[in-house]
Amino acid sequence: MSSQFYFTILIALATLSACSNESGRERSLMRMEAVDFSQVSVDDDFWGPRLQRHASTTLAVCIDQIENQTGRIRNFELAALGRGEHSGIFFDDSDVYKALEGIAYSLINHPDSALERKADEWIDKMAASQQPDGYINTYYVLTGLENRWTNMDKHEMYCAGHMIEAAVAYLQATGKRKLLDVSIRMADHMMDTFGPGKRHWVPGHEEIELALVKLSQATGQTKYLDMAEWLLNERGHGHGSKGGDGLWDPAYYQDDRPVREMTDIAGHAVRCMYLYCGMADVAAMKRDSGYIAALHRLWDDVALRNMYITGGIGSSRHNEGFTEDYDLPNREAYCETCASVGMVMWNARMNRLTGDGKYIDVLERAMYNGALAGISLEGNRFFYVNPLESDGHHHRQEWYGCACCPSQASRFLPSVGGYVYGTSEDALWVHLYMGNTAEINAGGRSLRLRQSTRYPWDGDVEIEILSVSSAMPGEIRLRIPQWCRSWTVEVNGRRLSPPVDKGYAVITGLRQAADRIRLHMDMPVEVIAADPRVKANLGKRALQRGPLVYCAEEIDNPGGRSSTLLSASDSFETLFADSILGGINLIRTASGPEPATFIPYYAWDNRRAGWMQVWQTFSEDR
């Protein structure tokens, strides 16, 4: 199911009864609530070591880069003094906020008082740099406050949005609200300056919209939600197009038409993702079916015509975004890490709006492939661009001049626990399979459960209800991934045949703590053909097993690229190799004279440099 490959095509435009622009805010349209990262402690053999390395290595790399190798913290110190030279790019503050958000998530699984002190120290410096009127942005404080709010492209609201996200995460993780108070003052400053009857404004890089919704939820103040909606509705009316640097047309900024009229993804990929997240959040709270209809159109355009098999998006380096439908070159693919993380964020929201598992299928694809490839196995190097083919010269780096992707990886990895579960009135939703203990407080009930699994290496999952404060939820909904063709489920050893609703097996009749659910999903190697309109993949096939897309690397295939040829008569064997790449399931062709070897795409470029390719030449017979 994507533009780049065939699977079952699911186009299910939800029909919504809510009226456009209805003002009632009594109830969100979201079909379910996410279970916050702070309630889920992830500890399995796949994610556990990654989260550990994130805490021990990734954050240390980011902190070192932010404090010592670059002047990002110095910018805050100078801005607090009100004098000095700004260093770096005008939106570098955002990397500090994103790393801080990553620290907040990390503190849940890895409490660390020294790290928390570091975060508090950063927050003190941020707060000290805030201007008396609430404005905060080191670039303009140090280069001339008189120029602030004159150029839509200068990311002032983007930086503010990342600050708000960090503030909300840090409050959830630690209970400390100093940065939240700073954020409130900045949000109030923005609302004093812009809004109905005040100045027009179109943020050139979205992010503030979703952040204002978070701020609204954290403070209970609907005015921030209203501001998010106002900003979304500013787009497409000519208010922003004169403010940029003149390099790009309005479509690059998603400012060429009102958001509710959008039909096709266009322009810069990360901006699109953050925009769609903001639209979904506002639509849910405002019960706006116009936004939701636009999101469904956009989702089809992304998932069916513009997405790589890795869940990556954005084929063009030129605009860090889109060209035309089905233009999905492999070697030149841009697939920015931030955009894959954006796909995770947006699809989580679409799932919450609709209760449809197809969004988690895309989320999982982006999470395990496009996004996870963005960070090295040791956690100390990052990809910005994620091609699906390389001649051996594309490598992760410790940092980038524009460091949006390293800081994105630093907040994405430890946030994965927040995508595992959802709750609705009388149901617990299990979206993703990863080992964790969760303490879920929702609907007046507190539920403790343990999920155990070797996923993504096999498809066996056990969920044990450890305790429940009152009656069990009426339903437990287990996602049956789209890649899975055959599965079974047992409760307390008894095989069930539950109904499946929009990709979820609906288990009812659970009564008590100690109830145990076992899900088995067959996980064979799948040979995937691209949509024939993707010229780059004509005559090629890719391998996928469970949620993981596989690739061939030179080091495992010394016979050269031609040795990875796939044919219709191939059979495959899988082999868990615990000494390779941190422990992976290899795939080998079990037929043909010279077996070819394939590794998960996320793990490429962690050994000796060499060529890599996801799509292999295919012939009907060998």
Instruction: For residue 508, count other CB atoms closer than 10 A to its CB.
Output: 16
Place of tokens 């007046």: 444
Is the C-alpha dihedral spanning 401, 404, 405, 406 positive or negative? positive
Least separation in angstroms between residue 84's CB and ligand FUB is 23
CB-nearer residue toward ligand FUB: 207 or 356: 207
Q: How far is the CB of 265 from ligand FUB (least distance, A)?
A: 15
Which residues bind to Zn ion, rule: CB under 5 A?
Answer: 336, 338, 404-405
**Residue 402 interacting entry, from Zn ion, ligand FUB, none, C-beta within 5 to 8 Å by type:** ligand FUB
- Cβ atoms within 10 Å, residue 13: 12
CA distance 414 to 421: 15
> What burial class does residue 505 get, using C-beta atoms within 10 Å of its C-beta: 0-12 exposed, 13-18 middle, 19+ buried?
buried
Closest CB to Zn ion among residues 313, 404: 404
Judged by CB under 6 A, which of 5, 46, 91, 291 binds ligand FUB?
91
Judged by CB under 6 A, the residue of 335, 404, 461, 525 near ligand FUB is 404
Phi, psi dihedrals of residue 205, rounded to the nearest 5° = -125, 115
Q: Smaller CB distance to ligand FUB: residue 205 or 349?
A: 205
**160 contributes a contact to ligand FUB by CB under 6 A:** no
Q: Which residue among 404, 405, 484, 551 is the active-site one? A: 404
Residue from 59, 182, 338, 552 binding ligand FUB (CB under 6 A): 338
Give which of Zn ion, ligand FUB, none residue 18 binds (C-beta under 5 to 8 Å, depending on kind): none
Query: If contact means CB under 5 to 8 A according to the sort of partner, which of Zn ion, ligand FUB, none does residue 91 touch?
Result: ligand FUB
> Taking CB within 5 to 8 Å according to partner kind, which of ligand FUB, Zn ion, none is near residue 320?
ligand FUB
Which of 301, 336, 361, 389: binder of ligand FUB (CB under 6 A)? 336
461 contact choice in Zn ion, ligand FUB, none (CB below 5 to 8 Å, kind-dependent): none
374 versus 503: smaller Cβ distance to Zn ion:
374
**Cis previous bond, 473, omega within 30:** no
| Smallest distance, Zn ion to C-beta of residue 441, A | 34
> Does 205 help bind ligand FUB (rule: CB under 6 A)?
yes
- By a kind-dependent CB cut-off of 5 to 8 A, residue 515 interacts, out of ligand FUB, Zn ion, none, with none
> 369-399 burial, b for 16+ CB within 10 Å, e for fewer?
bbbbbbbbbebbbbbbbbbbbbeeebebeeb
CB of 138 to Zn ion, least distance (A): 20
Residue 391: helix, strand or coil by DSSP? Answer: coil
Per-residue binding letters, 351-390, with ligand FUB (x by CB under 6 A): ----------------------------------------
Give the contacts of 194 (CB within 8 A, at least 6 positions apart): 149, 200, 201, 230, 231
- Interface with ligand FUB, residue 98, by CB under 6 A: no
The SS3 call for residue 382 is strand
Question: At its nearest, how many Å lie between ligand FUB and the CB of residue 320?
Answer: 5
Tokens of 471: 């009656």
Token code pair at residue 27: 């109830």
In sequence order, what are the residues at sequence separation of 6 or more whose Cβ sits closer than 8 angstroms to the Cβ of residue 147?
A: 140
Q: Is 444 exposed, middle or buried (0-12, 13-18, 19+ CB in 10 A)?
A: exposed
Q: Rounded to the nearest 5 degrees, what angle is found at the Cα of 530, between the Cα atoms of 525 and 534? A: 160
Amino acid at residue number 212: L
> Which residues are CB-contacts of 299 (< 8 A; sequence separation ≥ 6)?
350, 359
For strand 475-479 and strand 427-430, is the pairing parallel, antiparallel, or unpaired? parallel
Q: Cβ 407 to ligand FUB, closest distance in Å?
A: 10
Min dist CB 598 to ligand FUB, Å, is 30
Closer residue to ligand FUB (CB): 205 or 296: 205
Q: What is the DSSP letter of 15?
A: P
Nearer to ligand FUB, 283 or 338 (CB): 338
| 270 sits near ligand FUB (criterion: CB under 6 A) | yes
Partner from Zn ion, ligand FUB, none contacting 213, C-beta within 5 to 8 A by type: none
Rounded Cα gap, residues 153 and 391, in angstroms: 35
Gyration radius of the chain's alpha carbons: 24
Query: E strands along 138-182, which residues?
Result: none
Q: Is 142 in the site for ligand FUB (CB under 6 A)?
A: no
Query: Cα-Cα-Cα-Cα dihedral of 356, 20, 219, 154, to 10°?
Result: 90
Residues in contact with ligand FUB, counted by CB under 6 A, come to a total of 8
Give, for 92, the enclosing helix (H) or strand (E).
Answer: none
Does residue 165 have an active-site annotation? no
Active site residue 405: no
Given 320, 361, 515, 526, the residue binding ligand FUB (CB under 6 A): 320
Nearer to Zn ion, 163 or 405 (CB): 405
Q: Rounded to whole angstroms, how far apart are CA atoms 482 and 547?
A: 9
The nearer residue to Zn ion, 397 or 617, going by C-beta atoms, is: 397
- Residue 205 interacting partner from Zn ion, ligand FUB, none (CB closer than 5 to 8 Å by kind): ligand FUB
Q: Which is nearer to ligand FUB, 218 or 404 (CB)?
A: 404
Beta carbon nearer to ligand FUB, 91 or 230: 91
Angle between helices 358-365 and 337-354 (to 10 degrees): 160
Strand partners, 589: 572
Residues 485 to 514 in contact with ligand FUB, rule: CB under 6 A: none
Q: Per DSSP, what are the bridge partners of residue 208?
A: none
Q: Whole-number minimum distance, CB 206 to ligand FUB, in Å?
A: 9
The one of ligand FUB, Zn ion, none whose footprint includes residue 565, by CB under 5 to 8 A per kind, is none
Task: Please state the closest distance from residue 380 (CB atom) to ligand FUB, in A.
Answer: 21
Nearer to Zn ion, 338 or 344 (CB): 338
Helices 289-305 and 337-354, packing angle to 10 deg? 130
CA–CA dist 549, 62 (Å, integer): 28
402 binds ligand FUB (CB under 6 A): yes
Query: What are the strands of the beta sheet with 40-42, ordered from one edge?
Result: 40-42, 436-442, 445-453, 460-468, 516-521, 487-491, 494-496
Indicate which of Zn ion, ligand FUB, none lies near residue 502 (CB less than 5 to 8 Å, by partner kind).
none
Of 101, 206, 229, 320, the catalytic one is 320
For residue 276, the minimal CB distance to Zn ion (Å) is: 17
Closest contact distance (angstroms) between CB of 254 and ligand FUB is 13
Residue 260's binding partner among Zn ion, ligand FUB, none (Cβ under 5 to 8 angstroms by kind) is none
Binding-site ranges for ligand FUB (CB under 6 A): 91, 205, 270, 320, 336, 338, 402, 404
Which residues are the active-site residues? 320, 404
